[in-house]
Amino acid sequence: GQLGAELRFNEADRSYEITRLVTGDAWDAGADSPLNAVGVEARVGERIVSVNGQRVSFERPPQALLVHQANAKVELTLTSDAGTRTVLVNTLADEVPARYREWVERNRAWVHERSGGQVGYFHLPDMMAAGYAEFHRYFNAECDRAALIVDVRYNRGGHVSSLLLEKIARKRIGYAHT
């Protein structure tokens, strides 16, 4: 089971401090850190004390206690200066979707910031179904900008659809409002 978080051992109370939470798609539980979920809302600085009632330690980090817990409900005990609380999280089988979405959104924000909003950005992870989904997710939001970056780094291949090329090459010549 994965938590979509970066942790650091805290020697003082032998717990694991949350140093960063992955921020993926808030509307897709499988593509966001379960620690961001409503009712959990973990914060950077909180510390994981136990997993399913088993105390964590340097020798037994949370990751070791989450083996064979993918897509499972897991009880975490969190502590901070505000007190201790117990939360129930649905672990991830794979953090890649959450980390991917965070990476894309960080790149998109960087391009928008550096270009003063004049350049659009989207990433195509492949030239198959996932790539088409990414294209259609972002294209309408990004196509009205003066320029467009189509990022194909780490692209897993496939074939370039003439439909994608045709949509990118289109020029708007009118709008209809009803």
Which pLDDT belongs to residue 108?
95
pTM over 0.85: no
CA distance 103 to 99: 6
Q: Is residue 45 pLDDT above 90, yes or no?
A: yes
- For 97-141, write each residue's pLDDT tens digit: 999 999 999 999 999 999 999 999 999 998 888 888 888 888 888
Start-to-end CA distance of the chain, whole Å, equals: 50
Percentage of the chain exceeding pLDDT 90? 65
Q: Kindly indicate the confidence band of residue 34, based on its pLDDT and cuts at 50, 70 and 90.
A: very high
Cross-strand bridge partners of residue 8? 17
CB 54 within 8 A of CB 69: no
Predicted pLDDT at 36: 94
Q: What angle do CA 141, 145, 151 make, to 5 degrees?
A: 75
User: Which tokens in the block code for residue 21?
Assistant: 């939470």
Predicted local distance difference test score (pLDDT) of residue 48: 97
Distance (Å, rounded) from C-alpha 105 to C-alpha 23?
9
